[in-house]
Amino acid sequence: MLSFILRRLLALPLILLAVTFLIVLVMQLIPVEQRAAAYTTDLAQLSRIPEIIKTNRLDASVFEQYWRWLGQALGGNLGFSRTSGQPVLSTLAARFPATLELTLSTLIPLIGLSVWLGSKAAVQRGRAADTFIRVIAVVSSSTPSFVLGVWLLVIFYGALDLLPGTGNLSNDSAISFLTGEIKRVTGFVTIDALLGGRPEVFWDAIKHLIMPVFTLMVVGSAGLIKGTRTSMLEALNSDYIRTARAKGVSERVIVRKHARRNALLTVITLAGLSISGLLQGAVIAETLFGYPGVGAWAAQAAALGDLPGVLGFALLAATIVVLINLAIDLAYTVIDPRVRYA
């Protein structure tokens, strides 16, 4: 078991190396002058482009460029992101908590609701409830998040003015954070507001979360609902359920204890996958709702050809995905005692 974890953790750097090399390789397609422009912070510096190319050796071979980046990265310097106007590392540190807050606020209700709907559909198979839930899943899978987001903004921000349209805090609340009135303990604005004893700031943060969370949930739920339904159906059709019924176990217990627990294995895999999906959704939702997370920054960095920024985000995203896959594999052993890793 321990050796399995160690082996997987050792594979992590290899995957990170491959991912970052892939990106440096792809980025070579961008003309060298344009890449150099990503190093400048104002128009006056544009005349220095040949110099920038020379000092940063942007015209060297891919391997040499990658080697340079790697040397710096291992020294803790991920470079400077023009998009954020800050070093990549401090941008990540400043923006990641917001993304984490957004994704976690989505993930928990998302999994709860989808698993509930999915197993409901399986138990009620072929009836109205099943059809209804299937329609929900199909509709949510075909709703583009940017369309849904724009519609939500038109209704709840533009027309009704019930919810704020941009950011994760309104100005007054943001000022209490900036002045140090509320201390940054966890980095999550909701929790920090509560810890600082400011319920109105907490409520403000929640209001800013509603639309992005809803958008992410709608888009992420389809796969989870469908997956839960399929694996529940499989479980409900198995012999041990027949045995349980023959023993006279109540239908409630059969669904809750016998079927759902066995269906959990697939659900865990899908939930893990949906975290990767949420990271992707965060790019759109953060851009749409002006949320100050890493996703919005990554989208901008990619659009501007800001190589250090994109590489920084790639490192973060790939690390998360690899660690989550490891966590899923470990979760299997807890849920299913038959699964063992040597």
Window 65 to 124, contacts with other proteins (CB under 8 A):
123
What is the distance between the terminal CA atoms of the chain, rounded to a whole angstrom?
A: 6
**Is residue 59 helix, strand or coil?**
coil
Query: Residue 56 in contact with residue 24, Cβ under 8 Å?
Result: no
Q: State the nearest-atom distance from the C-beta of 239 to other proteins, in Å.
A: 10
In DSSP notation, 182-234 reads S--SSS-HHHHHHHTT-HHHHHHHHHHHHHHHHHHHHHHHHHHHHHHHHHHHH
CB of 340 to other proteins, least distance (A): 23
How many Cα atoms sit within 13 Å of 246 on the Cβ side?
Answer: 6
Work out how close the CB of 227 gets to other proteins at its nearest, in angstroms, rounded to a whole number: 12
Least distance (Å) between residue 52 CB and other proteins: 19
The pattern of x and - marking residues 215 through 254 that bind other proteins according to CB under 8 A reads: -----------x------x--xx----x--xx----x---
Chain centroid, CA 203 distance in Å: 23
Contact region with other proteins (CB under 8 A), list: 49-57, 109-117, 272-280, 327-335 = 272-280
Q: What are phi and psi of 87, to 5 degrees?
A: -60, 150
Select 209 or 299, whichever has its Cβ closest to other proteins.
299
Q: Rule CB under 8 A: which of 134-163 touch other proteins?
A: 134-135, 137-139, 141-147, 150-151, 153-154, 157-160
- Nearest C-alpha neighbor of 102 from the set 236, 212, 256: 212
Site string for other proteins, 18-57 (x = CB under 8 A): xx--xx--xxxxx---------------------------
User: What is the distance between the alpha carbons of residues 281 and 145, in angstroms, rounded to a whole number?
Assistant: 8
Query: For the window 288-307, what string marks contact with other proteins as x by the rule CB under 8 A?
Result: ----------xx--xxxx--
Nearest one of 106, 293, 295, 136 to 215, comparing CA atoms? 106
Surface-to-core class of residue 94, CB atoms within 10 Å of its CB (0-12 exposed, 13-18 middle, 19+ buried): middle
Contact status: 323 vs other proteins (CB under 8 A) = no
Instruction: Pick between residue 48 and residue 156 the one whose CB is nearest to other proteins.
Output: 156
Q: 4-12 long-range CB contacts below 8 Å, 24 or more apart?
A: 4/329, 4/341, 4/342, 5/326, 5/330, 8/326, 8/329, 9/326, 11/322, 12/319, 12/322, 12/323
**Count of residues touching other proteins (by CB under 8 A):** 64
**Which CB sits closer to other proteins, 129 or 195?**
129
Among 92, 264, 310, 312, which residue sits at the site for other proteins (rule: CB under 8 A)? 310
Per CB under 8 A, residues contacting other proteins are: 15, 18-19, 22-23, 26-30, 123, 125-127, 131, 134-135, 137-139, 141-147, 150-151, 153-154, 157-160, 165, 226, 233, 236-237, 242, 245-246, 251, 276-277, 279-280, 283-284, 287, 298-299, 302-305, 310, 313-314, 317-318, 321-322
